[in-house]
């Protein structure tokens, strides 16, 4: 039992160290251009965003469109806090936590309609919420109305982004492997049956929405402090669709899938930039192909560890076959 | 349990229960008791209100009026998971297992209440379920949805046993199963009851249910029309004609 735990720990620590070394060498020794570095940061923060969406849309199985609203509230809360309260760069963690916390409180409120409403109706409610947040920000003078907030301190760097991503992965993994995580999957399958085996559905939904909104809020806070400005127009339909695309591309209910989905989609839209408007055609077409041929997304309900196990199993069989040809002839 | 009248406090007492779907009354004031250690069967044809009764007991649907008391406490209108916590577990009609979770995950999800506090209890109950249904042990890593109907029923019963409670409500455990499997399931139910579990069973298969029940209620279009021990039922001409078909 203990040795197994140690093994897991080693398996976790080594990749983290490798990634950290890569990141440090990329940034400090300027191995890649600044624009590439920026894409990397996008990938990191959108991975957090997608992990948050996956919590509700993937593990809990509710089709929610509230993520744009959560991101907007996290981003704005963080931008306001860094302008008025936390002005020093060492206070950045506080800013991030504040953004996440504000989004979480709103997420708690947004979980209430999910107790009663179902399916398409809940999707409409959450869409309404996102649009309300957007138009509220558009009309609130204090935050610059439709012009948004400019001159936000650019605290975000690649270490913060990937540090937060690590934190997000840690939270999601802890949560999913807890009894609440298991109850989320049970509710996704059959809400009544899970109530009949004593699962507290309201509590599980509340927790899922809270964790989801918290992560999305942090992603918003990182984004604001990366770009240095924010405006309500960034949290409309485009943001909603972007989030959904990344979740479905990577696969529902999977941490690996969230990161892969965010990575692929960000790389895709950045590298296709030269195509102008046509990139949406190419990108959209690619998306259609993936959905047709891999209709669970790339990692639907699977993790990287499962994939590695499958590959290992596949190769071990090939090696076995080579070593013992007599056996295969039988 | 022939000395039913001598026992005092029933585990579950339902009195004058009314349930309606909109304007249509489904249950028209039924009363029944379940005592500790019994297998009580509720028999009736399609649409008699058997499933409705069970669903009303665990608040899956709302009750119009009447009293439901579990261990002396009124549970009418409580949220479903709280009723389960108080010790009434419900194996729903059509099994309703979690299809994309593995058998192991299905069972583990049912331990929501106590899993963290009491790992030993979970393991004990799990072992008990695996002993009752060795086939679940073989299929522990298989998705619930890929099991056969009979195995899914075993999983549903196993899941309820893991959650644990004083009284187990079972809704048509024989539905849609091969005859030899039906016998197997009923034998298991008897085994579970012999280990001290109180069971309330709702069945269309009156023959099988009467084989194992200690006491029976007959439900007809929302009314309890007859109640008695299986022996009494077998001597009643009307019942025999209506339900046993001979």
Interface test with B, best of A187, A197, A204, A206 (most B CBs within 10 A): A197
Please report the pLDDT score of residue B236 as a whole number: 83
Which of A45-49, A188-192, A231-235, A277-281 shows the lowest mean pLDDT across its residues?
A: A277-281
Mean pLDDT of B138-144: 92
Mean pLDDT of B216-231: 90
Please report the pLDDT score of residue A324 as a whole number: 60
- pLDDT tens digit string along A113-125? 988 888 899 999 9
Please report the pLDDT score of residue A6 as a whole number: 54
Distance between CA A148 and CA A230 in Å, rounded? 5
Distance between CA A170 and CA A306 in Å, rounded? 18
Beta bridge partners of B169: B90, B200
**Where does the pLDDT of residue A329 fall: very low under 50, low under 70, confident under 90, or very high at 90 and above?**
very low
- Choose the closest CB to A183 out of B91, B112, B159: B112
Beta strand B39-43 with B198-203 is parallel
Chain A: give the shortest CA distance to residue B94, in Å.
11
What HEC string does A11-52 produce? Answer: HHHHHHHHHHHHHHHHHHCCCCCHHHHHHHHHHHHHHHHHHH
Question: Chain B residues with CB inside 8 Å of A199's CB?
Answer: 81, 109, 112
Q: Among residues A118, A90, A107, which one has the least CA distance to residue A53?
A: A107
Please report the pLDDT score of residue A10 as a whole number: 66
A196–B89 C-beta distance less than 8 A: yes
Across the A:B interface, residue pairs with CB atoms under 8 Å apart total 74
Chain B residue closest to A200 (CA)? B81
Mean pLDDT of A307-324: 78
Q: By the 8 A CB rule, do A56 and A185 touch?
A: no
Please report the pLDDT score of residue B176 as a whole number: 80
Mean pLDDT of B97-101: 91
Mean pLDDT of B93-120: 88
- Choose the closest CB to B84 out of A183, A185, A197: A197
Question: What residues of chain A, 287 to 326, have a C-beta less than 8 Å from chain B?
Answer: 301
Please report the pLDDT score of residue A153 as a whole number: 82
Chain A residue closest to B93 (CA)? A193
Mean of the per-residue pLDDT values of chain A: 86
Q: Is the pLDDT of residue A4 over 60?
A: no
Higher pLDDT: A185 or B115? It is A185
Mean of the per-residue pLDDT values of chain B: 89
- The angle that helices A34-53 and A67-84 make with each other, rounded to 10 degrees, is 120
Phi, psi of B40 (to 5 degrees): -105, 130
Q: Token match 């102008």: residue?
A: A276
Reduced to 3 states, what is the DSSP secondary structure of residue A56?
helix
Could you tell me the two tokens for A163? Answer: 């540090």
Could you tell me the two tokens for A190? Answer: 């059959």
Which of A126-135, A181-190, B1-10, B88-97 shows the lowest mean pLDDT across its residues?
A: B1-10
Higher pLDDT: A282 or A5? It is A282
- pLDDT tens digit string along A51-79? 999 999 999 999 999 999 999 999 999 99
B105–A196 C-beta distance less than 8 A: no
Is A190 part of the contact surface with chain B (CB cutoff 8 Å)? yes
Is A192 part of the contact surface with chain B (CB cutoff 8 Å)? yes
């Amino acid at each position: 039992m203990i040795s197994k735990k140690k093994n897991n720990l080693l398996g976790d620590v080594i990749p983290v160290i490798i990634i950290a070394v890569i990141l440090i060498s990329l940034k400090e020794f300027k191995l890649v251009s600044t624009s590439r570095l920026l894409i990397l940061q996008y990938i990191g923060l959108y991975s957090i965003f997608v992990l948050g969406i996956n919590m509700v849309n993937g593990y809990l199985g509710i089709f929610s469109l509230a993520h744009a609203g959560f991101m907007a509230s996290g981003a704005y809360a963080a931008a306001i806090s860094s302008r008025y309260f936390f002005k020093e760069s060492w206070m950045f963690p506080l800013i991030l936590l504040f953004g996440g916390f504000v989004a979480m409180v709103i997420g708690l409120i947004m979980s209430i309609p999910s107790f009663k409403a179902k399916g398409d109706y809940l999707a409409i409610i959450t869409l309404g919420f996102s649009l309300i947040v957007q138009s509220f920000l558009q009309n609130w003078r204090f935050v610059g109305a439709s012009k948004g907030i400019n001159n936000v301190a650019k605290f975000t760097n690649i270490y913060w982004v990937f540090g937060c991503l690590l934190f997000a992965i840690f939270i999601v993994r802890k949560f999913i492997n807890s009894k609440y995580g298991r109850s989320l999957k049970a509710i996704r399958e059959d809400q009544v049956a899970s109530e009949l085996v004593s699962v507290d559905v309201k509590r599980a939904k509340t927790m899922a929405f809270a964790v989801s909104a918290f992560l999305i809020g942090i992603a918003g806070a990182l984004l604001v402090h990366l770009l240095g400005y924010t405006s309500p127009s960034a949290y409309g339909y485009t943001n909603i669709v972007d989030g959904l695309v990344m979740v479905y591309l990577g696969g529902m209910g999977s941490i690996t899938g969230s990161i892969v989905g965010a990575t692929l989609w960000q790389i895709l839209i950045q590298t296709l930039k030269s195509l102008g408007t046509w990139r949406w055609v190419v990108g959209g077409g690619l998306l259609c192909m993936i959905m047709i041929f891999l209709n669970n997304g790339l990692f639907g309900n699977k993790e990287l560890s499962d994939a590695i196990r499958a590959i290992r199993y596949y190769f071990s069989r090939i090696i076995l076959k080579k070593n013992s040809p007599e056996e295969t002839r039988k | 349990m022939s000395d039913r009248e001598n026992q005092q406090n029933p585990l579950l007492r339902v009195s004058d229960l009314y349930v309606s779907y909109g304007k249509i009354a489904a249950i028209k004031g039924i009363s029944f008791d379940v005592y500790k250690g019994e297998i009580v069967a509720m028999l009736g044809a399609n649409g008699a209100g058997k499933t409705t009764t069970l669903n009303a007991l665990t608040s899956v649907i709302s009750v119009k009026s009447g009293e439901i008391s579990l261990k002396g406490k009124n549970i009418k209108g409580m949220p479903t998971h709280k009723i389960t916590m108080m010790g009434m577990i419900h194996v729903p009609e059509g099994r309703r297992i979690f299809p994309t979770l593995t058998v192991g995950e299905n069972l583990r999800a049912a331990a929501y209440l106590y899993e963290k506090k009491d790992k030993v209890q979970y393991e004990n109950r799990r072992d008990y379920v695996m002993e009752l249904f060795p086939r679940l042990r073989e299929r522990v890593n298989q998705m619930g949805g890929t099991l056969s109907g009979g195995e899914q029923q075993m999983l549903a019963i196993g899941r309820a046993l893991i959650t644990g409670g004083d009284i187990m409500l079972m809704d048509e455990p024989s539905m849609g199963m091969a005859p030899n499997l039906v016998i197997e399931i009923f034998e298991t139910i008897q085994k579970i009851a012999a280990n001290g579990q109180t069971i309330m069973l709702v069945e269309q298969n009156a023959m099988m249910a009467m084989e194992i029940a200690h006491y029976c209620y007959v439900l007809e279009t929302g009314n309890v029309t007859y109640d008695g021990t299986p022996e009494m039922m077998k001597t009643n001409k009307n019942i025999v004609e209506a339900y046993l078909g001979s």
